[in-house]
Structure 1
């Protein structure tokens, strides 16, 4: 296998951390980029980077791209905002980059109601800057994170990539839909491959503290009530992190149909789970009942997600393997160890 140098944005984030680790394990070189913002606990982000061999004092350095220093043998980390349209091109100019995996974004549906400008900066301007760098520095393939949120409140399940997604119900979802349109335009105009991955509710060890898995586990262990929206009448296609990473890596480094430059794939477990059943699995893993605060539907939230992954399965032999019981148990074990 030919060794590649791959830029992974959002490398201190949940999925970016795992993708970087897997690429390193496969023998590739990784340039990790992240702005380490304070949307959630930065200590968790620094701890992920430490697992990749990047210590906190190294990660906090705002590096000069012309004299960038590599940490470790094949992992390099750069602290930077994607929306910095002056510095990002310098990174591409001063490094030989073969592939780009853009996992950096302002995440979270509910936070987009509070701070919409953060989504415009990172998800729109930042993504445009990535596209411009791919265009100007001859990057042949860009894999980027989209989201199941683009499907809105569609009742046409399982969600298929061919479905109409013109009705997002959160700004976060709208920015992800915009990313797909922008990628299509750049593939059409400039002839490089763009692969969008619509992630479905990713969970697992080292996960984000704003996600249900983390929130529920933390609350139950600490005898606090959990917020159960829509009185629990929700279902999600919960997808374990290992299954997500296998799909990301396949689309990033395996040969693909080069005649079609613009591609979109659902990447999920394709086994929706009712929210109350998910909570029950967490209760069993912790061996403790949850205190449930039953609440109405949240603005911007969707009632169900369910991925049709046949397209990714056909083209990349994608096979999600982790059921919710095993995935929840793995997360709870990690949580107890990480927080003593």
Structure 2
């Protein structure tokens, strides 16, 4: 297939684009390479994928300029903003995609409390532009990143895609729920096969510097303390990056179909009479935050000083994915153990940042 992957300088997008290119798909990646977090990690991901010429010269990538990977000749990258509707439309008209996977977004729960505009521009306007581009260019296969954050005040454990998610507690979560509603509308009106993926705390090598694992390892190696929110009474369904990518690829290969049994009175929230579907992708094995920190300490061979703090606005105390639909429909369940995933992340971190532990 010819597949557009958005957010290809990002954590999940970079990993997905490489995996699709490895198996032979023609991949076009876009990203605006913003400075929300350390851009050296974003450029590092692009270098890993073979986009090295300008980066090695110390030059930035020009807006709207195509680069071709030296590792994967079937993988091209272009720097674009999703909220640039004119350029997005031109891209779709020129490339004739078979499928689109939208992993570009303004991420972060806490950042949405202080910079709400960024979430509207990227997550709402940007996603709207993709829907319109799919509509007007006959692209029927659209998958996109949602988030476990949409569950908000929901207290049913484990979280099911059929639970009520009408009570988000951050603008980030509200923007992701909006994506699901917008996608359903376009599925119903225009027959676009849309699949939303509610990711649960993704971690692993090349991960985001604003996430807990990155922050904890960095602080530990620098001999600094870490902030532990809700006094450590948190549960997270940490999901390793390779498991996430396997789930996403299976979704791309199996686009949503209408649920012929669905009706407005008894129909499930995760399906529709339109070609629309929602999946959780999580490890289905939540880990206590203190156990997560202990796994980092085990790998580093040192104790980390901890600042015990109250829960932060927008945070939920626990996440736990019900992935029954993923297993039933796609025959897949994430299963990487937390210690294995943390070990791989720490090994990557030490190599990428050239940390000498001696």
Which TM-score band (shorter chain)? over 0.9
Deviations 1:299-337 (A, max 9, x none): 000000000000011101112120101001111111111
Q: For 2:53 and 2:317, how far apart are their aligned partners in 1?
A: 39
Q: Which residue is equivalent to 1:83?
A: 83
Q: Which residue is equivalent to 2:292?
A: 278
Q: For 1:231 and 1:258, how far apart are their aligned partners in 2?
A: 45
Q: Which residue is equivalent to 1:108?
A: 108
Q: Which runs of 5+ in 1 are unaligned?
A: none
CA drift of 1:257 comes to: 3.6
Q: For 2:320 and 2:9, how far apart are their aligned partners in 1?
A: 28
Contact residue 239 and residue 268 of structure 1 kept, 8 A: yes
CA drift of 1:255 comes to: 6.0
Query: How does 1:42-57 map onto structure 2 within 5 Å?
Result: 42-55=39-52, 57=54
Contact residue 96 and residue 137 of structure 2 kept, 8 A: no
Q: Which residue is equivalent to 1:321?
A: 335
Q: Which residue is equivalent to 2:6?
A: 9
Query: How does 1:58-97 map onto structure 2 within 5 Å?
Result: 60-63=61-64, 68=66, 70-72=68-70, 73-97=73-97
CA drift of 1:56 comes to: 6.1
Secondary structure of 2:85 counterpart: coil
Contact residue 256 and residue 276 of structure 2 kept, 8 A: no
Give yes or no for the alignment of 1:191 onto 2:191. Answer: yes
* Structure 1 stretch displaced more, 68-77 or 238-247: 68-77
Aligned-pair Cα RMSD in Å: 1.3
Deviations 1:53-84 (A, max 9, x none): 112627712226xxx56444111101010000
CA drift of 1:256 comes to: 5.4
Q: Which residue is equivalent to 1:124?
A: 124
Deviations 1:273-320 (A, max 9, x none): 000000000010111101100111100000000000000111011121
Q: Which residue is equivalent to 2:37?
A: 40
**Number of residue-to-residue matches in the alignment:** 334
TM-score of the pair, normalised by structure 1: 0.96
Q: For 1:322 and 1:314, how far apart are their aligned partners in 2?
A: 19
Q: Which runs of 5+ in 2 are unaligned?
A: 260-273
Q: For 1:46 and 1:255, how far apart are their aligned partners in 2?
A: 31
Q: Which residue is equivalent to 1:335?
A: 349
Give yes or no for the alignment of 1:304 onto 2:305. Answer: no
Distance 1:180 1:255, change over 3 A: closer
Q: Which residue is equivalent to 1:155?
A: 155
* Structure 1 stretch displaced more, 178-187 or 70-79: 70-79
Deviations 1:202-221 (A, max 9, x none): 00000000001101111111
Contact residue 152 and residue 168 of structure 1 kept, 8 A: yes
Give yes or no for the alignment of 1:203 onto 2:200. Answer: no
Contact residue 153 and residue 303 of structure 1 kept, 8 A: no
Q: For 1:109 and 1:286, how far apart are their aligned partners in 2?
A: 28
